[in-house]
A and B are shown apart, each in its own frame.
Chain A
Amino acid sequence: EPEVTQTPSHQVTQMGQEVILRCVPISNHLYFYWYRQILGQKVEFLVSFYNNEISEKSEIFDDQFSVERPDGSNFTLKIRSTKLEDSAMYFCASRGTGTSGNTIYFGEGSWLTVV
């Protein structure tokens, strides 16, 4: 079964460093998402992306965050200058269109630790 894949599975970074989390959505999907989950807390929506632009973003998704679809397969989340509070599990997700577009599929997540 097709799946969303994310790399790295775990990254440790120094505060202030830039981090790029990578995602390969399901190949024929057109809608892409990033969510995050701080340890012990709810999953939070960050951003949705469609047709090469952000369609919606949350208050969390400030200027330190950016997303990009650099080629036909990857979808990346960049955090420019990481803070301790950015430590979380980041989930990428994708969705198709038509009758198969009702379901959002999630990756296994990238665990980011900022020290």
Chain B
Amino acid sequence: SQQGEEDPQALSIQEGENATMNCSYKTSINNLQWYRQNSGRGLVHLILIRSNEREKHSGRLRVTLDTSKKSSSLLITASRAADTASYFCFTGFQKLVFGTGTRLLVSP
């Protein structure tokens, strides 16, 4: 399966706060990716981390990967209202199987 399981299902924070969401997966991986979907919109690729990497940064995003625990986390620092979206993680790239994601609500 190329589906990750995101946790928590929902997260509500204030603007300026940090948001952390987690992903667990079942199989060995070559890479793990995070996507974002704003309500009713297309999915946007955020970041890819390879299995030999432990941490990766992109702007306000920080992703960690722990292959021994088969888990990853996505940290969004200094969140903004525009970060309000659902966030999904995936392993592999052949076919993405969507879970429910983490629904992040950032309030002004």
Cα of A32 to Cα of B41 in the assembled complex, Å: 19
Q: Does A65 contact B (CB under 8 A)?
A: no
B95/A102 in contact, CB under 8 A? no
Q: Mark A34-77, 1 if CB is under 8 A from B, else 0.
A: 01000000111100100000001000000000000000000000
A interface SS class: strand
Interface size on B, residues (CB 8 A): 19
Q: Which residue of A lies closest to B40 (CB)?
A: A89
A91/B97 in contact, CB under 8 A? no
B45/A105 in contact, CB under 8 A? yes
Q: Mark B21-40, 1 if CB is under 8 A from A, else 0.
A: 00000000011010001001
Q: Does B12 contact A (CB under 8 A)?
A: no
Q: Does A104 contact B (CB under 8 A)?
A: yes
- Nearest CB of chain B from residue A59's CB, rounded to whole Å: 13
Cα of A95 to Cα of B2 in the assembled complex, Å: 16
A42/B100 in contact, CB under 8 A? yes
Residue numbers of A with Cβ under 8 A of B are: 4, 33, 35, 42-45, 48, 56, 89, 91, 93, 95, 101-109, 111
- Which B residues lie within 8 Å of A103 (CB)? 33, 45, 48, 93
- Nearest CB of chain B from residue A31's CB, rounded to whole Å: 8
- Which A residues lie within 8 Å of B30 (CB)? 102
